[in-house]
Amino acid sequence: MRLSEKGDERVRAVFELSAAPEHELFTLSDPERVVVDLADTALELDSLPRGGLVRRIRTGRQGDGTLRVVLDLKKAADTRSFVIGPGGGRGHRLVVDLLPQDGDGRRVVHSAADRERQVVVAIDAGHGGVDPGAIGANGTHEKDVVLAVARRLASILEDKPHLKPVLIREGDYYIGLRDRTRKADRQGADIFLSLHADASESSRVDGASVYALSLDGASSEQARMLARQGNAPDFISEISLQGRDPELQTVLLELSRGSTIETSLEMGNHLLTKLDLHADLLHGRVHQAGFAVLKSLDMPSVLIELGFITNPREERRLKDPNYQYKLAAGIASGVSEYARENLLPDLRQASGSREHVVHRGETLSGIARRYDVSTEKLRSANDLSGDRINAGAKLTIP
């Protein structure tokens, strides 16, 4: 087990495990504690770390043999947890994040829901300026096609409630890969979409596709080739990702990438379903590859290939404003659906009451603060005797 401080008193506890963990996470008050129960687990440590919000860490065994790890906190904190599978020469990892609260009992690091329930969508039109991207047989430049679709996508998203589009590239100029992600971070983006048009040595290959980041290698030969093509342009402006950004030097590009990849794949599935209504698909599922433009992002992020510009039929379609609008509409629909289900508060009206679906890593106290109700009222409304809740459970919000 190790702790790492993330700034603003945020703390990440990482449990290195030999197998997929069966665990429970919950919080206790007076004094403030975070409890992690691990079944069939032994802790191999001479001393337990501490720092940031964590005043000390204690361990013990429950009657059934479960290992209990108690993190005594300096003050109240929200928690989240996720599991990363084996990869990069490492085994399973359980990650527990502690998120500090301000004086009013709310998180310092605000979610999209806290920002007046508005989700910021960063739309990155690939290439630009001196980098035309792929070029079709009739001279169509990838950079022009993706910018046109990006503008149409932004226009559609502007009309959707709770969504705020941000164009990373607004004209025909080049932006380095890291500068693209920096702009998304500065704008407070919750979602990152990188738009591209594909290329192949064969003019017969066609179809749109969606890719998420991979830490353990590409999921197909096409994905490997795209990653090589997509990462190369960063050296046009003499920006070397290697050695420039410490985040990109870590073995797993920060452990949070595991959670980000999971959410990116989920969002990608929403996008594929909607794109399939308007375009031919190259793949029936989201593929993965090591795209540099996605590696520095701590948000759901995908790279969308709108089609093969090297296919004459698809090149004509990609130049057609009506088809560009259809592609943008499909992407907008997928993004809206994903945001509504995952990033916006899960509120439903049921007999005049609100309902929340518990997601993995959430705590009862955190949900109570999210809806500005007391933990006691939340327990009473749901006939709960304690603070333990299971992912997938539906809670009535009083």
- The pLDDT assigned to 117 comes to 57
At 392 the three-state DSSP class reads coil
What's the confidence (pLDDT) of residue 241?
29
Domains of the chain: 2-100 (2.60.40.3500), 119-342 (3.40.630.40), 354-397 (3.10.350.10)
- pLDDT of 7 > 50? The answer is no
Range with lowest mean pLDDT among 42-51, 201-210, 309-318, 381-390 = 42-51
On whether the CB atoms of residues 176 and 234 are closer than 8 A, the answer is: yes
Per mean pLDDT, which of 106-110, 116-120, 167-171, 373-377 is the most reliable?
A: 167-171
Does residue 76 sit in helix, strand or coil? coil
CB 146 within 8 A of CB 197: yes
pLDDT digits (tens, 9 = 90+) for 135-162: 999 999 999 999 999 999 999 999 887 8
pLDDT at residue number 46: 54
Give the pLDDT mean for 45-57: 72
Q: What is the mean pLDDT of residues 356-371?
A: 73
Measuring CA to CA, which residue among 84, 122, 44, 106 is closest to residue 294? 122
φ, ψ of residue 96 to 5 degrees: the values are -120, 120
Which comes out higher in pLDDT, residue 193 or 47?
193
- The secondary structure of residue 3, as a DSSP letter, is E
Taking 70 as the threshold, does the pLDDT of residue 368 lie above it? yes
Which pair of structure tokens corresponds to residue 63? 């009657």
DSSP output for 96-164: EEEEEB-TTS-BSS--TTTTTT-EEEEEEE--BTTB---B-TT--BHHHHHHHHHHHHHHHHHTSTTEE
Instruction: Return the pLDDT at 97.
Output: 78
Amino acid 291: pLDDT: 64
| 61 vs 385, more confident | 61
More confident residue, 199 or 3: 199
Pairwise pLDDT comparison (75 vs 148), residue with the higher score: 148
Mean pLDDT of 181-197: 88
Mean pLDDT of the chain: 75
CA 373 to chain centroid: 28
The encoded tokens of residue 285 equal 């599922």
State yes or no: pLDDT of 309 exceeds 80: yes
- Cβ atoms within 10 A of the Cβ of 40, count? 10
pLDDT at 347: 31
Decide which of 43 and 264 is more confident.
264
Helix axes 321-342, 256-275, angle to 10 degrees: 130
- Other C-beta atoms lying within 10 Å of the C-beta of residue 30: 5
Residues 246-292 have pLDDT tens digits of 333 333 334 344 557 777 888 888 898 888 888 888 877 887 766 66
If one compares 239 and 313, the residue with the highest pLDDT of the two is 313
Mean pLDDT across the stretch 61-81?
84
The answer to whether the bond into 31 is cis (omega within 30° of 0) is yes
Among 170, 386, 147, 194, CA closest to 294: 194
The mean pLDDT value for 358-383 works out to 76
> Which tens digits make up the pLDDT trace of 93-128?
787 878 776 554 544 444 444 444 578 999 999 999
Q: How many residues does the chain have?
A: 398
Least confident piece of the model among 16-30, 68-82, 94-108, 276-290? 94-108
60, pLDDT greater than 80: yes
Of 74-88, 245-259, 335-349, 368-382, the least confident: 245-259
> Per-residue pLDDT tens for 325-349?
999 999 999 999 888 877 775 433 3
Confidence band (pLDDT; 50, 70, 90) for 212?
confident
Amino acid present at 37:
D
Which of the 8 DSSP states describes residue 174?
Answer: -
Over range 170-175, report the average pLDDT.
92
User: pTM of the entire structure?
Assistant: 0.54
